Structure formats: structure tokens, C-alpha cells
Amino acid sequence: MSFELNLNQDKILLSREKIEDEISDFKRLASEKFTGEDLKNINEALDFMLKIHLPQKDRFDGRPFASHPLAVAKRVIGLSDNPELVMAALIHDGVEDQSDHIFAMRLARKYPDRDFIHFEIDENVKEKYKEIFSTWSFREIEDRFGDAVKYYVENMTNHDFNSLAEDLGLEGEEKQDFINRLYIEHVENIMNDPELFTLKLADLSINVDLHSLDPESKKYAKLKRKYKSVIETVLDKLKNIQTSHPLYVNRDDIIEDLTKIYNQQYKTN
């Protein structure tokens, strides 16, 4: 069975070279905290992440996309002793961004001796079959890494709010406000689960920092509009968590760091 992805091997190798130090640093941190089967599973999730994200287009800051899940996973290591949460951190964007890659990997793994279909996956195919690719990607994650990791990744995966807004006929600022409100509700739901909140906080703490962007760019304005209320919501939640919450021990430092970003980049005078 041949499901072909248009992969640029030179780009993949270059992206790997750019983040080699980050990969090594992550492996060091993981090995200092986890051992045995837990560490083995984390390294398998790392390999899985690199296969699906190294071919991906670079982030808005010009860095290889794989640098982002690495950074999120390193922050999770500093906040949690849960190896499955670290694994989920590594692959939390996989289904949302690279479901076609995971789908192709699953078919190659499950049907290695079948060769009766040739199917080239391009952007049009990815859009047409995104629901199938997404469903099968979650199956692959569950098969490889278990129910808990699948649960974390599934809940971290953003919904297609953009398509919904377009189907409703929304445009311009009205469309963006609608998408942003739904995203805030998505984050609020995540915060009800302490483990998911830890993972989302690690992700958001990186995404909300816009210092690498031109403050005059459209991208900066869009992200600032998206994240301003999200930061406020997260800070309110953090201030009211109980002592039993896994984030409580790091709460003050997290609040300080987020508040600094908010005051420097989001607060209006």
C-alpha cells in the first residue's frame, strides 16, 4: 500500500541539524528524571514526533516546528513527574498539524506487505479527508502510546473553529472574535483537568511570548488579540488553585513569568 507524502529530505536533515542541541538537552533532562520503561516510552514518542514534525513548515519565528514540542516537553518535565504527560507534550500538535503523516505511518505499519493502492497526499487531499486522517491518527497514538497519552493529545487538539466561522458566514473582526471566544472556552475546559492544565500551560507559556515577532506585523496583532484574554483567564485560574493541585508548588513563579509577558506585550496603557 503506497500512500506517498511529498517529503523534502534535504529540508528534514537541515531541520534536524538546527535542533540537534535541543534534542540532546531534552534527552538529558528526561534521563535525569525517568528510567526504565518510562524513559524508553518517552524516547519512542520523541522519535515519533521527529518523524511527523521535521518535514513540517517552519514556525512563524523561523525555527523548525519540531523545536516547539521539544520546548513544551522540557517545560512539562519541570512541572510534572508523569511520563505520559511528557509523551503527550512531544506529540500534542501531531494530529492538528500532521494527521496525514500519522495516517500514512499507520497504514505502512499495519499493512507492510500490501501494495495495491498508490495515493499521493497533497494539501487538497489532506483537507478533503481530514476527518478520516484525524480519527486514524488518534487510533495510531492510542496503539503506540496508550489511552492516557491519546486522551491528553485529543483534548489538546484545537477544533476547526475557522471552518465553523466561515460556514456561519462570519468575516473580518467578527469572525476573529468568534474564533477567539471559542478558543478561550476550549482552554477553560482544559483547565478543569489538572494534568491537562499543566500541559496546556507549558504550551501557552511559549506561544504567548511574541518577542520574536515584528510588533507592527499582522501576525503579531492577530496573536496578541487571540492570547490577551487567554492569559488573563489562566492567571485568574492559577491564583485560585488549591494546594493539592500539581501546579501549586510552582504557582508563584508561573504567575510571575506570565505576568511579565502580559505587562510587556499585552497590557494596554
Q: What is the pLDDT of residues 125-135, one digit of tens each?
A: 888 888 999 99
Please tell me whether residues 118 and 248 are part of one structural domain.
no
Whether residue 2 has pLDDT greater than 60: no
Please tell me whether residues 2 and 134 are part of one structural domain.
yes
Please tell me whether residues 145 and 173 are part of one structural domain.
no
Please tell me whether residues 169 and 89 are part of one structural domain.
no
Domain limit, last residue, from 157, 186, 203: 157
Q: Which three cell numbers stand for residue 61?
A: 519565528
Please tell me whether residues 241 and 124 are part of one structural domain.
no
Q: What is the pLDDT of residues 43-67, one digit of tens each?
A: 999 999 999 999 999 987 788 999 9
Parent domain of 104: 1-157
Q: What total of structural domains would you count in the chain?
A: 2
Please tell me whether residues 127 and 229 are part of one structural domain.
no
Q: What is the pLDDT of residues 65-106, one digit of tens each?
A: 999 999 999 999 999 999 999 999 999 999 999 999 999 888
**DSSP designation for 119:** E
Predicted pLDDT at 1: 45
Please tell me whether residues 29 and 119 are part of one structural domain.
yes
- Residue among 169, 164, 208, 171 nearest 187 (CA): 208
Dihedral of the alpha carbons of 166, 171, 176, 177, in degrees to the nearest 10: -110
Q: Which three cell numbers stand for residue 162?
A: 475557522
Other Cβ atoms less than 10 A from the Cβ of 199: the count is 27
Please tell me whether residues 103 and 53 are part of one structural domain.
yes
Please tell me whether residues 145 and 77 are part of one structural domain.
yes
192-211: average pLDDT: 96
Confidence category of residue 244, pLDDT binned at 50, 70, 90: very high
Interhelix angle for 94-110 vs 36-53, to 10°? 100
Question: Residue 243 is which amino acid?
Answer: T
**Measured between alpha carbons, how far is residue 176 from residues 156, 185, 208 in Å?**
20, 14, 17
Please tell me whether residues 17 and 138 are part of one structural domain.
yes
**How many residues comprise the chain?**
269
Please tell me whether residues 184 and 142 are part of one structural domain.
no
**Percentage, residues of the chain above pLDDT 70:** 96
pLDDT averaged over every residue in the chain: 92
